[in-house]
Amino acid sequence: APAAKKEEEAKPAAAAAPAPKKEEAKPAAKPAADDDDDVDLFGEETEEDKKALEDKKAKDAEKAKTKKVVIAKSSILMDIKVWDDTIDLLALGVKIRSNERDGLLWGDHKLVPVAFGVKKLQQLLVIEDDKVSSDDIEDIIMQYEEEVQSMDIVAWNKI
């Protein structure tokens, strides 16, 4: 019987021993709950996030101030055809290039043979897209309708 008492006494002691382990596990669970407070599930901004966003906006504004404005330009190569071979193409080229306009820069020109001694005037020009349109160029060239039969755009390249 004394051995049974010892076993009964040992059982409560053994049962009591795991109890402190449970108490130790509880404090470990509390920091995990504190970690959950750091996780923002609803997307609320913190002061650090607001400050970082303001700093980024300020840097972007400075870059925008120093950024150079790009002007859209186009290089155009045109063929200007005349009614017949009696028209002086060089004089016609001078008349056409005498038309000045903001955003229009006349470039080089050359005479290109078409057929049977007839030539066409090939004209290079550069325009600022916001200031000069293709209709404006057509108006400038076709105002000499007694000499100019037609005009064609051979190449239009963005610069």
Chain centre distance of CA 30: 50
In which element (H, E) is residue 14 found? helix 2-16
Segment 55-70 shows an average pLDDT of: 79
Q: What's the pTM value of the predicted model, to 2 decimals? A: 0.56
64 compared with 122, residue with greater pLDDT: 122
**Whole-angstrom distance, CA of residue 87 vs CA of residue 146:** 10
Q: What is the pLDDT of residues 80-101, one digit of tens each?
A: 999 988 999 999 999 999 999 9
Local confidence band at 20 (pLDDT 50, 70, 90 cut-offs): low
In this prediction, residue 116 carries a pLDDT of: 86
Q: What is the pLDDT of residues 113-152, one digit of tens each?
A: 998 888 999 999 999 989 999 899 999 999 999 999 999 9
**Sheet strand arrangement including 104-115:** 104-115, 118-128, 73-82, 148-158
The count of other CB atoms within 10 Å of the CB of residue 4 is 8
Mean predicted lDDT score pLDDT of the chain: 80
115 compared with 78, residue with greater pLDDT: 78
The structure tokens listed for 39 are 């996780």
